[in-house]
Structure 1
Amino acid sequence: MTHFMLDGFQGHRARFDDLRLIHELCSEIPEKLGLDPVMPPFLIPYYDGVEPEDAGISAFAFLMGGHITVHTFSYRECYFVDLLTPQTMDSERCTQDLLRSLPCEVSNIACFSRNGGAADELATEIDVHSDFGPHYLLDLDGYRGPREQGAIFGLLDSLPQRIGMTPIMRPYVVSTRSEDGEHVVSGMTMIAESHMALHVWPERGIARFDLFSCEFFDAETVLPTIRALLPAERFGETLAVRGSKYTSYQNSREQDVARTRRWVSRLTHSE
């Protein structure tokens, strides 16, 4: 499997709030790359949340055995894209199309294989003072965890609370078969921190899990909890950095943030 990541900084805030543009990206990029979508894009505008700095748009679409996700953070003037697919993809074209639609001054790009081992291509030395957040990748072989739609829904529905994160939707789970008849069950839930996804191939006994968070978490607690819920004979895991050195790129939006905090405070303390 191939996993493509793009982190963009110092972009155009208006584009990061453009629902139609983000919808088009999730629709058109898989098509241009010759990938197989199995659903139309699903978008969640996220404003006036618990953390005003997290305002923006979260979007995803399932591909056959994979997904594309886009998270924009308009206050922070940055965005993050993930594309996971078992098919061959042109990473250079993907990069060009994304940067044409969402141009930015600084971008970090990675494209690597999810073949059951650790993703050695990714930076793993996390600096909580300068980076944006962690991305946990878990590749499972000899997988013995949830396989059916209902069980995967239940797992993704309860997992955010178990690890101290904030769901902003109920899980979305699809069961599909490729042209050659291979069965795959895919689940996704969006959280205020970003997203978590699980793809399971029941007949092959493999699974791929992702947790991307814009908030740092206690890895010594969270990672064992996830591994216990996704048992397997063998696993490869990577806790990678997203938005490396983000704080050196970010632009301050103190007035906007202060105004939103006042609004959230009124809602919180109203009777």
Structure 2
Amino acid sequence: MTDTTHLTQKDGKAYAGTHLIIDLQNARHLNDRAHIEQALRAVTEATGATLLHIHTHHFSPQGVTGIAVLAESHIACHTWPEIGYAAFDIFMCGETTPHAAIPILRSAFDTDDITVRELHRGQTP
């Protein structure tokens, strides 16, 4: 028998995980590396994920890339402060709640201009 304890179970379906593609427009604090790292930590906590490692990089003259490596997969972010845009990629499996990231991101980056697309990765028949 196959061990499916790390699969996401929802609405009678099993899949590897939920993948949220989140675009923030008209966002603030996008050039602040420490703020972005704190937001990654807050999202990890709110979603019930297990943080393994965070790495961020500040580009010159502007922009930050960050990744939170999780036991349940990852959260990645790339920012373009000059246009108020941030791209977040949240992929989680198991008993996490990735949608709990949305209000955290809304608050952390002071924007209501958010687009979310959801994919179910590795869906089994």
Task: State the AA in 1 paired with 2:106.
Answer: R
Structure 2's unaligned 5+ residue stretches are none
- 2:38 and 2:73 map into 1 onto residues whose CA distance is 19
- 2:109 and 2:66 map into 1 onto residues whose CA distance is 14
Matched with 1:184 is 63
TM-score under structure 1 length normalisation: 0.39
Query: Aligned match of 1:173 in 56, 64, 79?
Result: 56
Q: Deviations over 1:27-51 (max 9, x none)?
A: xxxxxxxxxxxxxxxxxxxxxxxxx
Query: Aligned match of 2:118 in 239, 262, 271?
Result: 239
TM-score under structure 2 length normalisation: 0.77
Aligned: 1:195 with 2:79: no
Task: State the AA in 2 paired with 1:175.
Answer: H
Distance 1:163 1:146, change over 3 A: farther
- 2:17 and 2:119 map into 1 onto residues whose CA distance is 9
Distance 1:211 1:132, change over 3 A: same
Matched with 1:147 is 31
Structure 1's unaligned 5+ residue stretches are 1-52, 55-75, 77-125, 249-271
Matched with 1:82 is none
The number of aligned residues is 119
**Structure with the largest fraction of strand:** 2
After superposition, the CA RMSD in angstroms is 2.6
- Greater gyration radius: 1
Matched with 1:67 is none
**Structure with the largest fraction of helix:** 1
